[in-house]
């Protein structure tokens, strides 16, 4: 009887992870659309082979925004391998999803680009509002140095109207997936680890309907 109750509770939690992941994926569609507008109106773009943001210490994220990634890794049989990598490099500040070796000719960068988190999408492409209510582009240092004309153009447009994603708005919208989880920030590797562990722990009880 007790095991049935536990199984039911695990099943409910797994369904809740699936539901949250779907909400997060919808948010990704919205942020990607907003980012495209910013890029096409200003010319701001990532620098080829740059991995600065994925190796910057101190970047924090929620586990919530990595549920879509964790589900994908589990379904494609990569979850255990990533957990293993994380446990062997527990003190590393480099994201476990980063492909920083190109010996096989593969592209340097995120190995799971389609499933990357909210922070990864917003890092170079968002704006903030200062205490006087003036909007400013909040691009990464690499883009600020290399694309000054695009930055200037973005700030000129932003003086007139919003353009692209405002990071704080998108992080507020993450609350719709789960208020409590949207408040918990971890170093990025740990956020990914928590998301994968939750998916693995609860997947066993998913039942056919979850697929």
Residues in contact with ligand SF4 by the rule CB under 6 A: 46-47, 50, 52-54, 95, 97-98, 110, 116-117, 120, 123-124, 140, 142-143, 188
Nearer to ligand SF4, 15 or 51 (CB): 51
Burial of 189 (0-12, 13-18, 19+ CB in 10 A): buried
3-state secondary structure of 125: coil
Q: How far is the CB of 61 from ligand SF4 (least distance, A)?
A: 8
Stated as kind and residue range, the H or E segment containing 60 is: strand 60-61
Tokens representing residue 172 in the block? 């507020």
Q: How far is CA 194 from CA 86, 115, 200, in A?
A: 11, 16, 10
Nearer to ligand SF4, 13 or 25 (CB): 25
Q: How far is the CB of 204 from ligand SF4 (least distance, A)?
A: 26
118 in Cβ contact with 31 (< 8 Å) = yes
Q: How far is the CB of 146 from ligand SF4 (least distance, A)?
A: 8
Nearer to ligand SF4, 13 or 99 (CB): 99
Q: How far is the CB of 46 from ligand SF4 (least distance, A)?
A: 3
């Amino acid at each position: 009887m007790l095991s049935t109750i536990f199984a039911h509770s695990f099943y409910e939690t797994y369904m809740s992870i699936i539901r949250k992941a779907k909400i997060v994926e919808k948010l990704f569609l919205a942020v990607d659309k907003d980012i495209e507008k910013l890029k096409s109106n200003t010319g701001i773009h990532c620098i080829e082979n740059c991995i600065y943001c994925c190796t910057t210490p101190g970047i924090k994220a929620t586990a919530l925004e990595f549920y879509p990634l964790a589900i994908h890794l589990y379904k494609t049989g990569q979850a255990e391998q990533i957990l293993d990598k994380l446990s062997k490099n527990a003190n590393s500040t480099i994201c476990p999803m980063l492909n920083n070796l190109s010996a096989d000719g593969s592209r340097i960068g995120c190995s799971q680009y389609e499933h990357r988190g909210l922070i990864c999408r917003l890092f170079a492409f968002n704006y903030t509002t200062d205490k006087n209510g003036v909007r400013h582009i909040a691009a990464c240092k690499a883009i600020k140095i290399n694309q000054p004309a695009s930055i200037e153009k973005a700030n000129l447009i932003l003086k007139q109207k919003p353009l692209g994603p405002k990071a704080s708005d998108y992080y507020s919208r993450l609350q719709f997936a789960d208020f409590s989880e949207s408040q918990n920030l971890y170093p990025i590797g740990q956020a990914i680890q928590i998301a994968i562990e939750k998916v693995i722990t609860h997947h066993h009880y998913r039942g056919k309907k979850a697929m």
